[in-house]
Amino acid sequence: MSEPSHDPATDSSVPRHVAIIMDGNGRWANNRKKPRHSGHRAGVKSVRLSVEVAAQRGVEFLTLFAFSSENWARPKEEVSSLMNLFVEALRRELDELHRNNVRLKFIGALHDLNAGLREKISHSEHKTQTNTGLNLTVAISYGGRWDIIEASKALARRVSEGSLQVDGIDDASFAGELQMSPMPDPDLLIRTGGEQRISNFLLWNLAYAELWFTDVLWPEFDEAVFDEALNFYAGKQRRFGHTGDQIEAVEC
């Protein structure tokens, strides 16, 4: 989205929107001489915990990077296992999420998924659509470049149809065509597993996010680690192009 129009005087130390790249499942399994799919299964409990902690700490939006567009290139057995795990997790967790007032949304090239998983996704979104608690977004078959290209195509179609002038394309109109619309951009990105890159995740939306990296592998991600990331965020002065003096003057 466009540069956030934050009022520094009212900003909370708690991020409104947290995005997480859940990395390290395979290495966790390898370290224990277990098959990779056991690492993905172990990571489900960290998903459950992150949802609980986010809701408890007052986070409004939580976005999890579950499966990238590049992950389709992994061994077929691993991809198949992941798809089955997604279906199983939705079946097992949906009622609990619904009871806890969580609203579910999925983004990505969902047409690439098998029919059974698409049906589960549609059902879960429909069932939770009126919930007013934590907004949980899961990115599956998602890539940031793909997202930007699809948004560009949508704007090009509008221009071709005459409903939009070229000069009318701005940050807001572009952001409105992205997968995350109309949600606010992430304030904090967490990546587990030790890598320090964003790996084609929410390329537009992460423009002003604070980035926090940890060596902790995703299946070992717990409440203490989440709180460490939130404390990191709380210690940041978010300037959005202003100087520190300007921010402090407003806060005073």
Does the structure show a pLDDT above 70 at 3? Answer: no
The DSSP result for the chain, as a single string, is -PPP---TTT--SS-SEEEEE---HHHHHHHTT--HHHHHHHHHHHHHHHHHHHHHHT-SEEEEEEEEGGGGGS-HHHHHHHHHHHHHHHHHHHHHHHHTTPEEEEES-GGGS-HHHHHHHHHHHHHHTT--S-EEEEEEEE-HHHHHHHHHHHHHHHHHHTSS-GGG--HHHHHTTSTTTTSPPPSEEEE-SS--S-TTSSTTTTTT-EEEE-S--GGG--HHHHHHHHHHHHT----TTS-HHHHHHHH-
Span 99-135, pLDDT tens digits: 999 999 999 999 999 999 999 999 999 999 999 999 9
Per-residue confidence band for 6, with pLDDT thresholds at 50, 70 and 90: very low
pTM of the model: 0.90
User: In this predicted structure, what is the pLDDT of residue 237?
Assistant: 80
Work out the burial of residue 84: count CB atoms within 10 Å of its CB; fewer than 13 is exposed, 13-18 middle, 19 or more buried. Answer: middle
Q: Residue by residue, what is the 3-state secondary structure of 24-91?
A: CHHHHHHHCCCCHHHHHHHHHHHHHHHHHHHHHHCCCEEEEEEEEHHHHHCCHHHHHHHHHHHHHHHH
- How large a percentage of the chain has pLDDT more than 90? 89
Average pLDDT, the chain: 92
Lowest mean pLDDT among 51-60, 83-92, 201-210, 231-240: 231-240
Q: Which amino acid is at 174?
A: F
CB atoms closer than 10 angstroms to residue 198: 17
Domain ranges of the chain: 17-251
Span 140-190, pLDDT tens digits: 999 999 999 999 999 999 999 999 999 999 999 999 999 999 999 999 999
Span 171-181, pLDDT tens digits: 999 999 999 99
Distance CA 252, CA 17 (A): 26
Residue numbers annotated as active site? 23, 71
For residues 26 and 252, which has the higher predicted lDDT (pLDDT)? Answer: 26
CATH number of 17-251, picked from 3.40.50.10490, 2.40.30.30, 3.30.365.10, 3.40.1180.10: 3.40.1180.10
Does the structure show a pLDDT above 90 at 248? Answer: no
